[in-house]
Amino acid sequence: MSISELKNMQRETWNGLAQPWFRWNDLFEGGAISVTERLIGLSEICRSDTVLDVACGLGDTSYSVSNTLSADGSVVGIDIADTMIDICKVRFQDRPNIEFISGDAEKYLKSDCYDAILSRFGLMFFPDTAAILSELYKALKPGKKLCFSVWATPEHVPLISLTFSEVAKALALPAPPASNPGPFKLSNKSELVAELERAGFKDVLIQKISVPFELESAEEYLSYSKDILPKKISSCIDSDLSPSEKEALWKRILARSNEYVQEGIVKMDCKAYCISATKI
């Protein structure tokens, strides 16, 4: 698939996921807020800064950044999915210092514009990592930082990998090319450091962080997982599996998520990396 086909696929997938993500936003933010806080800490944002939030999704990181700014500071949140941006514009309409833009971040950026660039779980969805890192490098002012998070390897992120591995097994899906956009594309630390350095960044710092997700029960985990499956995958489940195979798939996911029950709830302690890298 070409880069532009992969980007169109991203647009289509995330446009379809905006409403389900919004329905489960409290659950996701319960864990992911710790990542936002770490990224803001690493970025050393000052109160009157101009900040970019790349692949802003439903806008929670943009909102947290805006809370650290004075009236003369501002945040731009950009996302390729119009439906995500439509939700952001409604959610944060009373925030004059946040602007939300719908579009491909790689095409939008101008040189030497930003005092900080943040991206929470966004950069792994760009098909050409070298291209987006090079654009982000140009867009930063000299001496300023790119701070972003990526997921650690799948076995450390059961919230995502448990369901995806069971679905892939049930549908006998071939492993996609490692360079394809996806949640684990940037989980190799040494490759990531090399990519950042090739783009020109210096002082690359990587911190491992716990992202603790809590769900009421295994049944809630299953409802969440079904709801946030990309449409293409849920259509394959419907068309390729018999009713009994589907039932068996849901039962396996329930059984495996039950292994995470502690003190009466499902606790999935996931791992991510928070990275900061400086433009010289």
Would you say 24 or 250 has its CB closer to ligand SAM?
24
Would you say 211 or 277 has its CB closer to ligand SAM?
211
Q: Which long-range contacts (CB under 8 A, 24 or more apart) does 229-237 make?
A: 229/163, 229/167, 230/13, 230/16, 230/17, 231/13, 231/16, 232/13, 233/167, 233/171, 236/171, 237/167, 237/170, 237/171
- Shortest distance in whole angstroms from residue 56 CB to ligand SAM: 5
Span between the terminal Cα atoms of the chain, in Å: 35
- Shortest distance in whole angstroms from residue 149 CB to ligand SAM: 8
Would you say 4 or 48 has its CB closer to ligand SAM?
4
- Shortest distance in whole angstroms from residue 16 CB to ligand SAM: 10
Separation of alpha carbons 159 and 212, rounded Å: 10
- Shortest distance in whole angstroms from residue 205 CB to ligand SAM: 20
Residue 140 to residues 72, 110, 111, 154, 254: CA-CA distances in angstroms? 19, 9, 7, 31, 45
Separation of alpha carbons 119 and 149, rounded Å: 7
Would you say 7 or 144 has its CB closer to ligand SAM?
7
- Shortest distance in whole angstroms from residue 218 CB to ligand SAM: 23
Under DSSP, the state recorded for 155 is: G
Token duo for residue 30: 């319960």
Per the DSSP assignment, residues forming a β-bridge with 270 are: 211
- Shortest distance in whole angstroms from residue 240 CB to ligand SAM: 26
Would you say 233 or 241 has its CB closer to ligand SAM?
233
- Closest CA relative to residue 56, chosen from 13, 90, 102, 11: 102
Would you say 200 or 230 has its CB closer to ligand SAM?
230
Would you say 76 or 266 has its CB closer to ligand SAM?
76
- Shortest distance in whole angstroms from residue 58 CB to ligand SAM: 6
Residue 171 to residues 54, 144, 164, 246, 250: CA-CA distances in angstroms? 33, 45, 10, 10, 13
Separation of alpha carbons 14 and 168, rounded Å: 20
User: Closest residue (Cβ) to ligand SAM?
Assistant: 57
CA 193 to chain centre: 19
- Give the binding site for ligand SAM (CB under 6 A): 7, 10, 14, 32, 55-58, 60-61, 78-81, 84, 104-106, 120-122, 125-126
Separation of alpha carbons 88 and 40, rounded Å: 19
